């Protein structure tokens, strides 16, 4: 039997926040497994049925408020299939491709539905959905993406301080920066002009807590009606640190590494406060009373989707050398372990508890009728289904950025990296595809059926890079490695739009 935990420490000052926390703890306690290493099994079939119902019969009417998020609904559904190792049949793939292409705006980028304005967030979702179901050639979607116009759209919303509006006449939001960076990486649209200033903007979103907020204050005015003056870095962040913005900022920072490495060293080079970031991330993990789930901000509640937004940040930090990754290019022992096995202890859980996060997702995140959720007794939805499953993958797999693999990809490149631009393109390609996991280092809580990965001997990647690739979740893009590689291999044979 598991020790009965107490309530989280609290003072006697009751507020709505403390009431919500107490209610949540009472509910979560009822979901504690009898033994910590025997969580509820992953109900793969009922989650698949939940997703298939939405996809084939259409989303229930309560989704009407998400009319401008149609690419997201499709991406969440398709990527949930992918992490569970399921692919659509050719007919349904074609239906999905045709649906996605109807969201492309005539002036570039994708909108949230047919006829809607182009926006960075649905552009990411549409391109990722095409990475999953699309293919080259007529009607396959990939070659019908208008990259020239998309590039012009991106440049037209770029601001002088390195931020991007999410759409014409809209606001700045670091989620938009992340979405744009993923899109330009996947579609081979990287240029130094597009990236200029982004690192400084990311830096300016970090708050005093260590996590990141949605944006920063670019201007100030000396007098109430006076002219706005662009502030020098560091600019003050706008708002509160949040897991969603923190993932987007950190993943953007990781994508910018090849660009930063090609810059001349300078004293003013933007930098992040990793010590504060790590401290904040660690503190977002709930206690054993909260079953080890993550919360998205200070004094708020644990929620399944932060399994990815916050739990996913640790692999990103390992790629920057901030925390150690188990499984590196150097020597270490391989093993496949389950909690309770001695070898589970090889892995350093001192910063975050991978077993506890798996316990939260399996015991509290799964809705008994299929699909995954924020927390009980909430309903399941496709957003939480994906981010709980992606979080499960992040908790199980020690994915790391391999410098050996990066070198192998660079050596395999046919054209020499002459110009700065070409160097950037090659460096981003190899950086994006160098994530790997050493066989046998995953840590699955409970039965093997709970494993969020399929091993795949992808023929193309073997031929191209001489290595086996596992179909784990890409820690930056949230696509499988195979889909990432398939799309990038296609677009990096083409010229860059300008």
Q: Which residues bind ligand FPP (CB under 6 A)?
A: 121, 175, 178-179, 242, 244-245, 248, 296-297, 300, 303, 309
Asked if residue 365 lies in contact with residue 376, where contact means CB atoms within 8 angstroms, the answer is no
Q: Which stretch binds Zn ion (CB under 5 A): 86-94, 192-200, 303-311, 337-345?
A: 303-311
Out of 245, 306, 387, 465, pick the active-site residue: 306
Which of 437, 485, 483, 217 minimizes the C-alpha distance to 318? 437
What residue 492 binds from Zn ion, ligand FPP, none (CB within 5 to 8 A, per partner kind)? Answer: none
Is residue 388 flagged as an active site residue? no
Smallest gap from residue 384 Cβ to ligand FPP (A):
11
Extract the tokens encoding 25.
């703890």
Question: What string of H, E and C letters represents the secondary structure of 238-300?
Answer: ECCCCHHHHHHHHHHHHHCHHHHHCCCCCCCCCCCCHHHHHHHHHHCECCHHHCCCEECCCCC
Query: Which residue, 296 or 370, is less far from ligand FPP as judged by CB?
Result: 296
Query: Which residue, 374 or 485, is less far from Zn ion as judged by CB?
Result: 374
Query: Which residue, 84 or 179, is less far from ligand FPP as judged by CB?
Result: 179
What distance in Å separates the CA atoms of residue 363 and residue 38, rounded to the nearest whole number?
10
Smallest gap from residue 447 Cβ to Zn ion (A):
26
Query: Which residue, 305 or 347, is less far from Zn ion as judged by CB?
Result: 305
Name the phi and psi angles at 187, rounded to 5.
-100, 10
Is residue 242 flagged as an active site residue? yes
Is residue 107 flagged as an active site residue? no
Is residue 384 flagged as an active site residue? yes
What distance in Å separates the CA atoms of residue 367 and residue 47, rounded to the nearest whole number?
9
End-to-end alpha-carbon separation of the chain, Å?
A: 63
Please give the residues from 411 up to 470 whose contact with Zn ion meets the rule CB under 5 A: none
Out of 374, 375, 387, 425, pick the active-site residue: 374
Query: Which residue, 165 or 454, is less far from ligand FPP as judged by CB?
Result: 165
DSSP state of 149: H
Which of 143, 157, 155, 144 minimizes the C-alpha distance to 191? 155
What residue 53 binds from ligand FPP, Zn ion, none (CB within 5 to 8 A, per partner kind)? Answer: none
Write out the E strands in 128-255: 215-216, 219-220, 229-230, 237-238
Residue closest to ligand FPP when measured from CB atoms: 244
Query: Which residue, 303 or 381, is less far from ligand FPP as judged by CB?
Result: 303
Smallest gap from residue 478 Cβ to ligand FPP (A):
9
Which of 293, 253, 298 minimizes the C-alpha distance to 280? 298
Which of 313, 326, 328 minimizes the C-alpha distance to 252? 313
Smallest gap from residue 295 Cβ to ligand FPP (A):
6
Q: Among 305, 316, 372, 445, indicate the residue that binds Zn ion (CB under 5 A).
A: 305
Is residue 420 flagged as an active site residue? no
What residue 389 binds from Zn ion, ligand FPP, none (CB within 5 to 8 A, per partner kind)? Answer: none
What distance in Å separates the CA atoms of residue 210 and residue 187, rounded to the nearest whole number?
32
What residue 374 binds from Zn ion, ligand FPP, none (CB within 5 to 8 A, per partner kind)? Answer: Zn ion
Quick check: 284 binds Zn ion (CB under 5 A)? no
Buried b (16+ CB within 10 A) or exposed e, 85-112: eeebeeeebbebbebbbebbbeebbbbb
What residue 242 binds from ligand FPP, Zn ion, none (CB within 5 to 8 A, per partner kind)? Answer: ligand FPP
Is residue 305 flagged as an active site residue? yes
Smallest gap from residue 173 Cβ to ligand FPP (A):
8
Q: Among 25, 161, 290, 303, indicate the residue that binds Zn ion (CB under 5 A).
A: 303
Smallest gap from residue 305 Cβ to Zn ion (A):
3
Three-class SS state of 54: helix
Per-residue contact string for residues 358-377; x = within reach of Zn ion by CB under 5 A: ----------------x---
Smallest gap from residue 432 Cβ to ligand FPP (A):
17
Is residue 381 flagged as an active site residue? yes
Three-class SS state of 161: coil
Query: Which residue, 164 or 308, is less far from Zn ion as judged by CB?
Result: 308
Q: Scanning the structure block, which residue is given the tokens 């677009």?
A: 491
Query: Which residue, 108 or 211, is less far from ligand FPP as judged by CB?
Result: 211
Please write down the long-range contacts of 95-98, taking CB distance under 8 Å and 24 or more positions apart: 96/129, 96/133, 97/130, 97/133, 97/134, 97/139, 97/140, 97/141
Out of 305, 313, 363, 461, pick the active-site residue: 305
To the nearest 10°, report the CA torsion of 347, 348, 354, 355: 60
Out of 31, 105, 242, 326, pick the active-site residue: 242
Q: Which residues are catalytically annotated?
A: 242, 297, 300, 303, 305-306, 374, 381, 384
Interface ranges with Zn ion (CB under 5 A): 303, 305, 374
């Amino acid at each position: 039997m598991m020790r009965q935990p107490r309530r989280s420490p609290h003072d006697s000052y009751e507020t709505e926040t403390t009431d919500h926390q107490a209610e949540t703890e009472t509910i979560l306690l009822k979901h504690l497994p009898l033994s910590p290493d025997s969580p509820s099994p992953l109900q793969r079939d009922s989650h698949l049925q939940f997703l298939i119902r939405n996809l084939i019969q259409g989303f229930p009417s309560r989704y009407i408020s998400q009319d401008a998020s149609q690419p997201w609904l499709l991406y969440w559904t398709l990527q949930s299939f992918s992490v569970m190792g399921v692919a659509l049949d050719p007919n349904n793939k074609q239906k999905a491709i045709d649906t996605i292409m109807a969201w492309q705006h005539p002036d570039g980028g994708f909108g949230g539905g047919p006829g809607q304005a182009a926006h960075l967030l649905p552009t990411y979702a549409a391109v990722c959905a095409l990475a999953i179901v699309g293919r080259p050639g007529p009607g396959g979607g990939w070659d019908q993406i208008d990259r020239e116009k998309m590039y012009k759209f991106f440049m037209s919303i770029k601001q002088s301080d390195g931020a991007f509006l999410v759409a014409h006449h809209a606001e700045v939001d670091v989620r938009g920066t992340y979405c744009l960076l993923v899109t330009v990486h996947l579609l081979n649209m990287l240029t130094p002009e597009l990236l200029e200033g982004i690192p400084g903007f990311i830096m300016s979103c970090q708050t005093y807590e260590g996590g990141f907020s949605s944006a920063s204050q670019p201007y100030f005015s000396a007098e109430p009606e006076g002219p706005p003056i662009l502030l020098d870095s560091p600019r003050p962040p706008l708002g509160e640190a949040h897991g969603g913005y923190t993932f987007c900022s950190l993943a953007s920072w990781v994508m910018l590494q090849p660009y930063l490495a090609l810059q001349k060293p300078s004293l003013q080079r933007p930098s992040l406060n990793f010590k504060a970031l790590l401290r904040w991330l660690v503190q977002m993990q709930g206690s054993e009373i909260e079953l080890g789930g993550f919360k998205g901000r200070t004094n708020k509640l644990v929620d399944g989707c932060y399994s990815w937004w916050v739990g996913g940040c640790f692999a990103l930090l390992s790629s920057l050398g901030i925390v150690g990754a188990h499984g590196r290019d150097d020597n270490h022992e391989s093993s496949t372990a389950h909690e309770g096995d001695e070898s589970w202890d090889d892995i350093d859980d001192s910063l975050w508890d991978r077993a506890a996060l798996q316990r939260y997702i399996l015991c509290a995140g799964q809705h008994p009728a299929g699909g995954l959720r924020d927390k009980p007794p909430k309903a399941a939805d496709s957003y939480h289904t994906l981010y709980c499953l992606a979080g499960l993958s992040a908790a199980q797999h020690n994915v790391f950025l391999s410098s050996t693999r990066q070198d192998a990809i660079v050596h395999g490149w046919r054209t020499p990296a002459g110009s700065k631009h070409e160097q950037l393109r090659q460096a981003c390609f190899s950086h994006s595809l160098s994530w790997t996991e050493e066989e046998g280092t995953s840590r699955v809580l409970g039965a093997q059926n709970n494993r969020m990965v399929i091993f795949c001997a992808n023929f193309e990647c073997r031929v191209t890079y001489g290595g086996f690739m596992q179909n784990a979740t890409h820690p930056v893009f949230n696509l499988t490695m195979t889909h990432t590689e398939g799309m990038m291999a296609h677009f990096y044979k083409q010229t860059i739009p300008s």
